[in-house]
Amino acid sequence: MPSDTTDDPADDDDGGSRISDEDIARAAAAIRAGEAVVYPTETVYGLGADATDSAAVERVFDLKGRSRDKPLSVAFGSVDAALSLVPASDRAARFARAFLPGPVTVVVDRGDALPGELTGGEPRVGIRVPDHETARALADATGPITATSANRSGAGSVRQVADLDPRIRDGCAAVLDGGETPGGESTVVDPDRDVIHRAGPLAEEIREWLADES
């Protein structure tokens, strides 16, 4: 289907194209209807759909051409919203409050509110609270959304909407254009097991926290 792409050149707080409240509302309505959208984050562009809806999650896997045994993370509008849905341990909750919002994915128990399709049936899931106003506003408006990069599986991550694969763009109901994003990947941490699965931003601070809180 044709996508609804915002492309106003006026600057906003995200340092790119202006994304209006109306743009976010349209994208949120699409997510609530089971569709997928593209949205900017503090790293790269993400592919978002209703993370509580198994069919919407499957749509994201299909758009990316991603194997079902590679889990998807979930983005929330706030740490409180995340901790109200997933059964995080006290340690994981403290860690999340220390490092989120930010470019960090926190691995916690998935619980019953999120479908097994997100994680290939595995009991743990990565949660994100992006350090990006648009991403958080979208998740605030919809509830938890998938937090996976808006690229085909095996291809490079996307930092500007002009580089979206046509199959991603055409398969999404809306594309929120926030200009060029900084790039990079989030640091993936399981604080309950003191494991950094992928080191990236804040890795040294995270290692110090894990050591101090052990």
Q: Are 47 and 149 in contact (CB under 8 A)?
A: yes
Tokens of 94: 């403290």
Distance separating alpha carbons of residues 151 and 163, to the nearest angstrom? 9
- What is the pLDDT, as a whole number, of residue 17? 63
Number of Cβ within a 10 Å radius of residue 95 = 23
- What is the pLDDT, as a whole number, of residue 214? 75
Q: Are 61 and 53 in contact (CB under 8 A)?
A: no
- What is the pLDDT, as a whole number, of residue 18? 84
What DSSP state is assigned to residue 5? E
Across the beta sheet with 4-5, what order do the strands follow?
A: 4-5, 174-175, 37-40, 45-48, 145-149, 73-75, 124-128, 104-109, 187-190, 195-198
Range of the domain at 135: 4-212
Which residue type sits at 17? S
CATH assignment of the domain containing 197: 3.90.870.10
What's the domain count of the chain?
1
pLDDT in tens, 3-33: 454 443 333 344 446 899 999 999 999 999 9
Q: Are 48 and 138 in contact (CB under 8 A)?
A: yes
Q: What DSSP string describes 45-99?
A: EEEE-BTT-HHHHHHHHHHHT--TTS--EEE-SSHHHHHHHS---HHHHHHHHHH
pLDDT tens, position by position, for the chain (214 residues)? 444 544 433 333 444 468 999 999 999 999 999 999 999 999 999 999 999 999 999 999 999 999 999 999 999 999 999 999 999 999 999 999 999 999 999 999 999 999 999 999 999 999 999 999 999 999 999 999 999 999 999 999 999 999 999 999 999 999 999 999 999 999 999 999 999 999 999 999 999 999 999 7
Where are any strands of DSSP class E within 110-177? 124-128, 145-149, 174-175
Q: Which helix (H) or strand (E) holds 198?
A: strand 195-198
Distance separating alpha carbons of residues 35 and 173, to the nearest angstrom? 6
pLDDT in tens, 21-65: 999 999 999 999 999 999 999 999 999 999 999 999 999 999 999
